[in-house]
Amino acid sequence: MHQIRKIMLCAALAGAFTQVQAADQFVALPSYRVGPYAAGGSGFYGGAIDYFNLVNANGGVNGVKIQWEECETEYNPSRGIECYERLKTKNGGATLVEPLSTGIAYGILDRVGTDKIPLTTLGYGRSDAANGKVFPYVFPLITSYWNQAAAMVKYLADKSGGYDKLKGKKIVHLYHDSAFGKEPLPVLEAQAKQYGFELIKIAVAPPGSEQQSQWLQIRQAKPDHVILWGWGVMNSVALKTAQRNGFPREKMLGVWWAGSEEDTIPSGDAAKGYTAMTFNTPGNYPLIDEIRKKVYAAGNGNLADQARIGSVYHMRGMTMGVLWVEAIRTAQEKFGKGKVMTGEQVRWGLENLDVNEARQKSIGVLGMFPTVKTSCDDHEGSGAVKVQQWDGKKWNAITPKWIVGDKALTRKLLEESSNAYAVEKKITPACMK
């Protein structure tokens, strides 16, 4: 009898453990915290995890706690694919994944649909994946590289006095020699042809710690603007080398992965006056204060250096966390409040996001990022950006309103590219129910 009771007790405990595990929403974080891109990875994933910890401390998403696991990729595509394969079946199965790497995203692009695990590529990755009819499980949320490139050209045109004033100008695209660095070329090439400016493409071999020959080319070309499409150590090296070559930082415009404190602080005076794109408005927000009080004060903060709280990468990670949680919340509204959502259900939530100003205000992030409203046709949900400038100590937004470039052009390119992909992969474009 005692043995039977023991067996029943063990079964009950096992059942309770299963129920606790089943009540968690598991998400996969193939992250990187070592190597030349560690600053970006640690800040971004630190921000996301801080937000997950805050949500859990506040009771979860209608009672459902967020559970996650990291796997170190070192920003290496092959390691990233290994991490994805390792994480996707853990804890009942991953329901979201974010690798923060264009190379890794390309590597798992065809896998996520088969596995029914939605992939977000927040501000990076394959731009034409915004077409949900062809890429139902991929979400380049907020703004893609193509819309960023179009917004860059619009900003430079506005500074010059209009698009027609770009004719005859020289614009250098100084880029990380990778899929990430080459992603904006279709837009830049199309707009160079449209507006008559000369696009000079200069590649930098990763990680980008040596750029003397590239800046010699720039000095000889005497461009009107340099677009710095860099990542990691490449950015501070570019700023310092520009200074040594006498190129004004005010003529440099960085991709948003070249616009963080980790890029400018190590650059010292060489960064002062430098501008970069962003999809987050610099500043303090109620959400950041709440994370300080409820997460860090309780000893659950993810950043070792608390001075990085509210920094560009940290804020960007929080933005991802907010959008993930809102997707889960949206899915629960349709499929059952307080229930763990499957990957398919979270996919529906991502495709039906509506993070408007009222919702942003209730979360404590009003204006921190543009409003996001997705659909089957638009897995991006915005396309808006701002320009920020480094004053020597901090970033300041210098465009009060969100900028949107030529979306007619980017949509045309998106349709052409995604439809070609559909033909190649024998996909019949259609919206998922």
Beta bridge partners of 198: 170
Which candidate, 216, 250, 251, 211, places its Cα nearest to that of 230? 211
Percent of the chain with pLDDT over 70: 95
pLDDT at 23: 78
Sorting pLDDT into bands at 50, 70 and 90, what band is 16? very low
* Residue 14, number of CB atoms within 10 A of its CB: 10
Contact 433, 334 (CB under 8 A): no
Q: What average pLDDT does the segment 67-94 reach?
A: 97
Residue 12 has pLDDT above 70, yes or no: no
Contacts of 75 by beta carbon, 8 Å cutoff, 6+ apart = 32, 35, 36, 37, 41, 101, 103, 104
Q: What average pLDDT does the segment 320-348 reach?
A: 98
pLDDT at 140: 97
Which pair of tokens denotes residue 399?
A: 């465009």
Residue 221 has pLDDT above 90, yes or no: yes
Residues written for the chain:
433
pLDDT at 11: 37
Give the sign of the dihedral formed by CA 335, CA 329, CA 279, CA 173: negative
The per-residue pLDDT for range 238-258, each reduced to its tens digit, is: 999 999 999 999 999 999 999
Give the sign of the dihedral formed by CA 87, CA 91, CA 94, CA 96: negative
Q: What average pLDDT does the segment 145-167 reach?
A: 97
Which pair of tokens denotes residue 200?
A: 């000079």
Residue 75 has pLDDT above 70, yes or no: yes
The per-residue pLDDT for range 127-152, each reduced to its tens digit, is: 999 999 999 999 999 999 999 999 99
Contacts of 361 by beta carbon, 8 Å cutoff, 6+ apart = none
Residue 371 has pLDDT above 60, yes or no: yes
Q: What average pLDDT does the segment 69-77 reach?
A: 97
- Please tell me whether the peptide bond between 207 and the residue prior to it is cis, using omega within 30 degrees of 0: yes
Residue 7 has pLDDT above 60, yes or no: no
pLDDT at 153: 98
Residue 27 three-state SS? strand
The per-residue pLDDT for range 372-414, each reduced to its tens digit, is: 999 999 999 999 999 999 999 999 999 999 999 999 999 999 9
Residue 115 has pLDDT above 60, yes or no: yes
| Domain-wise residue ranges, the chain | 2-143+285-382, 146-278
Class (C level, CATH) for 2-143+285-382: alpha beta
Provide Rg for the chain, Cα atoms: 22
Contact 356, 373 (CB under 8 A): yes
Q: Where are the alpha helices (DSSP H) in 279-372?
A: 286-291, 312-335, 343-351, 357-363
| Beta strand 225-229 pairing with 252-254 | parallel
The per-residue pLDDT for range 354-367, each reduced to its tens digit, is: 999 999 999 999 99
Sorting pLDDT into bands at 50, 70 and 90, what band is 157? very high
Fold of domain 146-278: Rossmann fold (3.40.50)
Q: What is the mean pLDDT of the chain?
A: 94
Residue 192 has pLDDT above 70, yes or no: yes
Residue 3 has pLDDT above 90, yes or no: no
Contact 304, 51 (CB under 8 A): no
pLDDT at 1: 39
Sorting pLDDT into bands at 50, 70 and 90, what band is 6? very low
Name the strands in the sheet holding 275-278, side by side, starting at the edge strand that comes first in the sequence.
Answer: 198-204, 170-176, 225-229, 252-254, 275-278, 386-390, 395-397
Please check whether the two domains, 2-143+285-382 and 146-278, share a CATH topology. yes
Residue 9 has pLDDT above 70, yes or no: no
Residue 273 has pLDDT above 70, yes or no: yes
Residue 17 has pLDDT above 80, yes or no: no
pTM for the structure as a whole? 0.92
Q: What average pLDDT does the segment 145-162 reach?
A: 97
pLDDT at 433: 80
Residue 186 has pLDDT above 60, yes or no: yes
Q: What average pLDDT does the segment 18-41 reach?
A: 83
Contact 398, 370 (CB under 8 A): no
pLDDT at 14: 37
Q: What average pLDDT does the segment 95-123 reach?
A: 97
Sorting pLDDT into bands at 50, 70 and 90, what band is 2? very low
